[in-house]
A = this chain, B = another copy of it.
Amino acid sequence: MKIIVDVMSGDNAPLEPIKGAVMAARSYSVEIVMVGDEKVIVETCNSNDITLPSNISIAHSEGVVTMEDEPLSVVREKSASSMGTALKMLAEGKGDALVSAGNTGALHAGSTLLVRRIKGIKRSAISTILPFETPTMLIDSGANTEVTKEQLEQFALMGSIYMKKLFNIERPRVGLANIGTEPTKGTKSLVEAYQYLSNSQLINFIGNVEGKQLPFGVCDVIVCDGFTGNTILKVSEGIAMYIMKRIKGVMMSNPLTKISALTMKKQLYSLKESFSASEYGGAPMLGISKPVIKAHGSSDAEEIKNSVRQAIAFLNTNLIVDISNSISSSVNESGAEK
């Protein structure tokens, strides 16, 4: 098993991705290929006293896709970049899975165009595991701003298979993100989607879920278009940051509260950490024919290592074969591709 790590992308590249790749090579019995500027990687290793274990290698690339670059740059002017090279290697079978902390849009576009989707999957989606009362998958969390009900069903199916395989949830409960629980709530297309998902034999649909309920473990998979998903993701992040800031304000308000705060400092820190999107590793691009894991942009070495572990679990559980089988059997059942 060989995992490709794009070590030039992300806020803390190249040092943290390199350290994470090395940690992963030491921890797991897999091969690791670091993709990036060879000179930079070697220099970074030398100046940080990092010695490379024998199961890690370097594949040279030129340039980096930045957060400001257009998604399609990864297959156009920046095709020789670390992300572009890593994606090509994955597509050509020079590795089994890919981890990158780079530009989400570019990673999604490049995965779709170079690595390609699973046969029968109409759209691939970015999925995020939210660190709520119970781990909750949000799919699509940003790739497709507008989707059809058939695509929502495929997202829900892929998310369910992921949650079953990686979180051991027997029949993951799928909720449709909406502004009310009644079947008549939301836009016209959501009302139609509700009916369509209700009749689906492929998923365990429990109905609409609204924002107030989301953090409290009411479902295992939240399905929505990428615009709604990204709104949920970013509003959650913003509100969490804001409340933690206000709580800090309360704790620093006078000498007595400052002393009191010390007694719970460690727990509050780990609470804050647990709200970070990387609690459960990176965001898998579901629907792509090989595992692609988007690590958080601000990933440190530990998070890169965790994303490699997630990629290994993804491969070990045969997720893609399962998704592929479910899609082709759903096509057979209906007599035609849905």
Contact = CB atoms under 8 A, between A and B. Distances in A.
Between A228, A234, A253, the greatest number of chain B beta carbons within 10 A of the residue's beta carbon is seen for A234
A200 B235 CA distance: 27
A237 B236 CA distance: 10
A257 B253 contact: no
A239 interface: yes
Nearest to A216: B242
Contact of A231 (B146, B211, B247): B211
B264 A242 contact: no
A179 interface: yes
Given A216-B242, A243-B244, A263-B256, A233 B211 contact: yes
A280 interface: no
Contacts of A187: 145-146, 227
A275 B228 CA distance: 23
Contact of A263 (B146, B237, B257): B257
Given A231-B232, A264-B260, A271 B251 contact: no
A260 B250 CA distance: 12
Interface residue tally on A, bucketed by range: 35 or more
A231 B225 CA distance: 13
B264 A246 contact: no
A250 B256 CA distance: 18
Nearest to A226: B179
Contact of A186 (B145, B212, B243, B275): B145
A213 interface: yes
B234 A210 contact: yes
Interface in A60-78: none
A268 interface: yes
Between A142, A145, A226, the greatest number of chain B beta carbons within 10 A of the residue's beta carbon is seen for A145
B227 A235 contact: no
A239 B246 contact: no
Contacts of A235: 211-212, 214, 231-232, 235-236, 239
A177 B243 CA distance: 20
A260 to B, nearest CB: 3
Nearest to A261: B260
A166 interface: no
Interface string A264-297: 1001100100010000000000000000000000
A243 B274 CA distance: 11
Between A211, A239, A267, the greatest number of chain B beta carbons within 10 A of the residue's beta carbon is seen for A239
Nearest to A105: B180
A133 interface: yes
Contacts of A234: 179, 210-212
A246 B215 CA distance: 11
Contact of A179 (B216, B231, B271): B231
Interface in A198-241: 210-216, 226-228, 230-241
29 contacts: A132-B242, A145-B179, A145-B186, A146-B188, A179-B226, A179-B230, A179-B231, A179-B234, A210-B234, A211-B230, A211-B231, A211-B236, A214-B238, A215-B242, A227-B228, A228-B228, A235-B236, A235-B239, A239-B243, A240-B243, A243-B244, A247-B268, A247-B271, A250-B271, A256-B263, A257-B267, A260-B260, A260-B261, A260-B264
